[in-house]
A and B are shown apart, each in its own frame.
Chain A
Amino acid sequence: MALSEGEIGRYARQLLLPGMGEEGQERLRAARVRVAGGGPAAAPALLYLAAAGVGTIWIDDPDAVAAGDGAGFMFGPAEVGRSRAVAAAEAIRAASGLVQADVLRPGARPTHVLVVAGTSEVSRAVAEEARLLGLPHVVADVDGQGGAVTPGAEERTTPLPRRVAATTRAAAARARGPRGWVRRARSERRAWFRAPPRSGHPAGLHRSPLRPRPRP
């Protein structure tokens, strides 16, 4: 369905980007993104997704808003104690009337997954679930000294419809790069730290080489 006049006005700047145009914006509008996490790191990502025109955003976070979550620019003091997912959905709807935002419900079928969970265990679990489903996903791992953003996409074992499978293969190939982007990035990080590799997520949840951990 073609963009409305309101959507054209709202997304005018990015409609001009090469390769974007109306078709790209329509594809953004058709996307359904599951965002695992609603903390201070996820909040700007949620607002950016809404500002970009992603059509449906589902927030998956069982925790309540903490006082420190105000650092993410989305929650005010009055939101402390409320459900993060509910408060984030309300904030997104208030920020953009063109986006559907809600709490992740059972049976939801996202097309993409963004993992900004607070703990590595949750990140691994959600990323693994997305990988098995063949969903393109991005994992953002944040700690006190820096963080890492890792794209990931794998084919699932059960066959997909041809068109979807081609899209997934292309996304996986883009994520890997010509020589295996993820593996190369991990090996580079290992060399940087001169330390044995951590047993981590297959998509690579590692400390950013830009902010190395100080050695004792």
Chain B
Amino acid sequence: MNAAHLNAPGTSVKPSARVDIRHEVCPLTWVRTRVALGRIRPGEVLEVLLCEGEPLENVPRTAAEEGHEVVRLERAPLEGPGVWRAWLARGEPAEETPWP
């Protein structure tokens, strides 16, 4: 799925949900992001507030590896020093059978 249009100038797309993982450590940073992505529909956007360092390196990368799209990744100085904001568009669910 290509969600580049969500980041185009003039678009007024708003995130459907928001998750704050600034106070989490690995692996809960990605766990909480993944759970939040599972609660929105494919194509909708999740806003993630995360800190520099491990979360900034791993969360957007893992999201892309699992089929989601990083629509926007920018600093969020109003949220605090070293805080970043990521917009993740949920990809289509993978072809896998839920377990058990």
Contact = CB atoms under 8 A, between A and B. Distances in A.
B38 A28 contact: no
B73 interface: no
A8 B98 contact: no
B98 A12 contact: no
A12 B31 contact: yes
Nearest to B97: A19
B8 interface: no
Contact of B35 (A15, A17, A27, A28): A15
A108 interface: no
A22 B100 CA distance: 12
Interface string A1-23: 01100001100110111111111
A189 B10 CA distance: 70
Contact of B100 (A2, A12, A15, A28): A28
Contacts, number: 43
B34 A16 contact: yes
B95 to A, nearest CB: 10
Interface residues of A, number: 19
A31 B97 CA distance: 17
Interface string B69-93: 0000000000000000000000000
A207 B6 CA distance: 61
Interface string A134-163: 000000000000000000000000000000
Given A21-B38, A22-B35, A23-B38, A16 B97 contact: no
A87 to B, nearest CB: 28
A24 interface: yes
A130 to B, nearest CB: 16
B4 interface: no
Given A2-B39, A9-B28, A22-B39, A15 B34 contact: yes
Chain A interface, DSSP helix/strand/loop, else mixed = helix
B34 A27 contact: no
A56 B96 CA distance: 26
A135 B28 CA distance: 35
A15 B31 CA distance: 7
Contacts of A28: 100
Interface string B13-35: 00000000000000110111011
Contact of A27 (B28, B39, B100): B100
Given A12-B28, A16-B31, A22 B96 contact: no
A22 B34 CA distance: 9
B100 to A, nearest CB: 6
Interface string A76-107: 00000000000000000000000000000000
Contacts of B100: 24, 27-28, 31
- Shortest 6 CB-CB distances between A and B: which pairs? A12-B31, A19-B96, A19-B99, A24-B99, A23-B98, A24-B98
